Chains A and B, each alone.
Chain A
Amino acid sequence: MSTVDALQKALAAEHAAVWAYGLIGGQLVNTARQQLATECLGAHATRRDALVATLTARKATPVQAEAGYEVPQPVRDPASAYALAVHVEEGVAAAWRAALAGTAERQVRQTGLAALTDASNRAVTWRTAAGKTPATVPLPGIAP
């Protein structure tokens, strides 16, 4: 995998995350959790925009967002919304973890590490909201 490939895969994951949080926010009734979903959406949009800029600077055409994405289960209530949020953060974590292995560039690694850490933290928050224990996973972004 080249650095550009790694960044494109991360961008694809961030596009999916931005889309998913629109769905998630629509199902939450708890104000604090709605606020959290809004913040998560914003964070993923920021990462997306940074990736678009980075890829453009490298003369690559940034991968585009899909019109819609498949979800593992229908999102129709807070519980299924929390489950999707966990799933999203795990997917984003996997893409950034792969990006770390896909580049030797220090700056890209720094970005990847920060993004992986953020996704791990958010996954813990959403697992806690879902009442899932344990709330942590030992190796975020690596399939168990």
Chain B
Amino acid sequence: MPLVVTRRRVLGGALFGGGAALLGSAASGCRAPWQDAKAAPPDPLEALIAAERGLIASYDAVITALPQLSGRLSALRADHLTHLNVLRRTVDPGAADLPGAAPTAGGAPIGNHAPKPGGNPMPTDQPGALAALATATRQAADRFGQACLTAPPRRAGLLGAIAACESSHLGLLS
């Protein structure tokens, strides 16, 4: 589990010199805003988990629109699902695996592929769709690679392996 560091702002007693009522309410359980612990920074893996969810959602969008690609793409999608589950368990060792099936096979959607304002939905022609998956995969490989370079040693191997896997998909998406 990552070490969680919280920073609590320590306020001088003078500020509360006349604030007995405030102190009273704090003591009874209501937290004054300045008493909130500064939130621990999110685990950097969360952004990578979101990236894998996005990739899986992209695969699901393509497989739904172009079912003839399902055979070719399902193994690649399965790799991303493994990445997602391993990353989730790294952040939370008790996390249960997400179910595997693509929506076209009855599974629940895993990522949110709603196009962002100004964003592009997945192309619905085969060459365009494969190119879009390759672009997204290349971006993921770069992100995981960068994360690997600066990760603590216990995570560097996993992040490097995921980066390498993403790269290994590129030849199969052309």
A60 at the interface (CB under 8 A from B): no
- Is the pair B150, A142 in contact by a Cβ cutoff of 8 Å? no
Interface size class of A (residues with CB under 8 A): 20 to 34
- The dominant DSSP class at the A interface is helix
How many Å from the CB of B69 to the closest CB on chain A?
Answer: 15
- B149 lies within 8 A of A121 (CB): no
Interface residues of A in 118-144 (CB under 8 A from B): 119-121, 123-125, 133-142
Q: Mostly helix, strand, loop or mixed at chain B's interface?
A: helix
Tell whether, in the assembled complex, residue A136 and residue B165 are in contact, meaning their CB atoms are under 8 Å apart.
Answer: yes
Docked CA distance A28–B37 (Å): 65
- Which residues of chain B have a CB within 8 Å of any CB of chain A? 75-76, 78-79, 82-83, 86, 141, 145, 148-150, 152-154, 156-158, 160-165, 167-169, 171-172
Contacts of A97 in B (CB 8 A): 157, 160-161
User: Which of A38-46, A48-56, A70-78, A99-107 sits within the interface?
Assistant: A99-107
Show 19 A/B contacts (Cβ-Cβ < 8 Å), sorted by A: A97-B157, A97-B161, A100-B156, A101-B154, A112-B160, A113-B160, A117-B163, A117-B164, A119-B164, A120-B164, A124-B168, A133-B75, A136-B168, A138-B78, A138-B165, A139-B86, A139-B162, A141-B160, A142-B157
Residues of B within 8 A of A138 (CB): 78-79, 82-83, 86, 165
Q: Of B86, B149, B165, B168, which one neighbours A113 at CB under 8 angstroms?
A: B149
Give per-residue flags for A74-114: 1 if the beta carbon is below 8 A from chain B beta carbons, else 0: 00000000000000000001001110111110100110110
Which of A106, A120, A135 has the most chain B CB within a 10 Å cutoff?
A120
- What B residues does A125 contact at CB under 8 A? 171
A116 at the interface (CB under 8 A from B): yes
Least distance between B158 CB and chain A CB atoms (Å): 7
User: With contacts A113-B148, A133-B75, A134-B78 known, is A100 near B167, CB below 8 A?
Assistant: no
Residues of chain A lying within 8 A (CB to CB) of residue B86:
138-139
**Cα(A139)–Cα(B163), bound, Å:** 9
- In the assembled complex, the Cα of A136 lies from the Cα of B86 at a distance in Å of 17
- Given A109-B149, A140-B168: A116 touches B75 (CB 8 Å cut-off): no
Given pairs A134-B75, A140-B161, 13 additional interface contacts (CB within 8 A): A98-B157, A101-B154, A101-B157, A103-B153, A109-B148, A109-B149, A113-B148, A125-B171, A136-B172, A137-B165, A138-B79, A142-B158, A142-B161
B164 lies within 8 A of A113 (CB): yes
CA distance A81 to B82 in the complex (A): 29
What residues on A are CB-neighbors of B141 within 8 Å? Answer: 117
